[in-house]
Amino acid sequence: GSLHIGGARTALYNYLLAKRYGGSFILRIEDTDKERNTQSSQDQLIQELHWLGLEWDEGPDLEGQDRGDFGPYTQSQRGAVYHKYAQRLLEENKAFYCFASEEAIDQAREQTPNNVTFKFQSPYRDLPLHEAREKLKAGEEAVIRFRNDFHDRVFTMQDAVRGPVDLPSHMIGDFVILRADGSPVYNFCCAIDDALMEITHVLRGEEHLSNTLRQLMVLEALNLTPPTYGHLSLILDQEGKKLSKRTGASSVSDFMDAGYIPEGLLNYLALLGWSDPEHREILSLEEMSLVFSTDRLHLAAPMYDPDKMRWVNFQHLHAKEPAYIWQAAQPFIRKANLELPSDPKWSSLAMSFFHQVFHTLADAEHIFR
């Protein structure tokens, strides 16, 4: 579906970071979850990033054609890459074939005490690789699990937002990197792609902190260099809960339908977790890109304020020419079935009176009714 504004804010911060330091802003399509991914949702995401004005330097364009030197940028097209590295891990005894059924895993999970994090102990962990391959030839199915042999080591990373973060290796067990059908798992793909695409910085939501340990393990096992990670706090609604459709507008399409313009939406999203060093509140995308830095990203979770959002959008609309607002408001005028004079002199006169009272383009309905 539509891009959640949390995802839009993440894209914005990555864009600003790249532009501030002369880097490349990269769009990568992470579509390994076949059940959740659809072509229509992918197309909508690309179109909404384009509408926002967050133009990427590398990745698929609006027609689906890649630009950049490290493609393909769609993970479902990179299967051979992931299989190559999975086989390398198998050969180096850093991964193993696991033939355990889902029923066996579920049974083990049910027997785990409620206060203990479930970590599946595969009976196939020490099965020699040549025997596992014989079982595969005989028609048996298996996933490939990464072998967590880090023995209670603590992975410490310097998070760009949170500072030093310790991730104890015992938090997770031997995790799946390739499913039984051969499709790769998200964390495996991202770790490899970040290294091969020479990604230097990744800003993402704090819900990805649990993924970071797995990615660091994979990268170390393959002797690949990890990027600098920064984990952003979630955007909360006015009840202090994660912002969702249940509590109102939460996606880019919601704000497009409500008559917001890209400049207003981007400006407000930037303020949800970052502050300008000169304490300005109304900024253009270019102005933000000149001063953005991760040391001004806030650790505290920001709260979405719809009134502040309308005010920020009003400031950007107020700076527009009346003719721009008139043209941009036409879809909302038609939607409201308003029959207004077609004489350009009328619209010019009307907008000279009313253009400064628009908070969103959708206000045209009650302004001209």
Burial of 107 (0-12, 13-18, 19+ CB in 10 A): exposed
Report whether 95 contacts 147 (CB < 8 A).
yes
- Under the banding of pLDDT at 50, 70 and 90, the label for residue 53 is very high
pLDDT of 275 strictly over 70? yes
pLDDT at 248: 64
With a cut of 90, say whether residue 113 has pLDDT above it. Answer: no
Q: What is the pLDDT of residue 189?
A: 97
Is 49 in contact with 42 (CB distance < 8 Å)? no
Closest Cα partner for 72 from 221, 169, 200, 196? 196
Q: Which of 25-29, 288-292, 322-326 has the lowest mean pLDDT?
A: 322-326
111 pLDDT higher than 90: no
Q: Which amino acid is at 186?
A: Y
Taking alpha carbons only, the member of 35, 65, 60 closest to residue 186 is: 35
- For tokens 């695409």, the residue is 197
Q: How far is CA 159 from the centre of its chain?
A: 17
SS3 label, residue 37 = coil
pLDDT(13) > 90 = yes
pTM (predicted TM-score): 0.93
pLDDT tens digits, 135-163: 999 999 999 999 999 988 999 999 999 99
Select which of 245, 308, 335, 345 is catalytic.
245
| Length of the chain (residues) | 369
Determine whether 245 is an active site residue.
yes
**Which residues have CB under 8 Å from 82's CB, separation 6+?**
178, 184, 188, 189, 192
Asked if the model's pLDDT at residue 261 lies above 80, the reply is: yes
Of 99-103, 294-298, 353-357, which one has max mean pLDDT? 294-298
Q: What integer pLDDT is reported at residue 41 of this predicted model?
A: 84
Q: Which residue has the higher pLDDT, 111 or 358?
A: 358
Question: Please, which pLDDT band fits residue 39 given cuts at 50, 70 and 90?
Answer: confident
Confidence of residue 253 (pLDDT cuts 50, 70, 90): very high
Token match 């992918």: residue? 42
Mean pLDDT for the stretch of residues 340-349: 87
Question: What pLDDT band is residue 115 in, cutting at 50, 70 and 90?
Answer: low
| Structure confidence at residue 246 (pLDDT) | 66
Q: Which residue would you say has higher pLDDT here, 342 or 271? A: 271
Mean pLDDT of the chain: 93
pLDDT for 2 equals 83
Q: Residue 70 has which token pair?
A: 């490290």
Q: How far apart are CA 358 and CA 73, in angstroms?
A: 40
CA dist., res. 308 & res. 294, Å (int)? 23
Q: Please give the pLDDT value at position 245.
A: 67
Q: What is the pLDDT of residue 29?
A: 93
In the predicted structure, residue 247 carries a pLDDT above the cut 80: no
Strand residue runs (E) in 82-226:
95-98, 143-146, 154-159, 163-168, 176-178, 201-205
Please state whether 248 falls in left (phi above 0), alpha (psi between -120 and 50) or beta: left
In this structure, are residues 285 and 298 in contact, taking their beta carbons and an 8 Å threshold? no
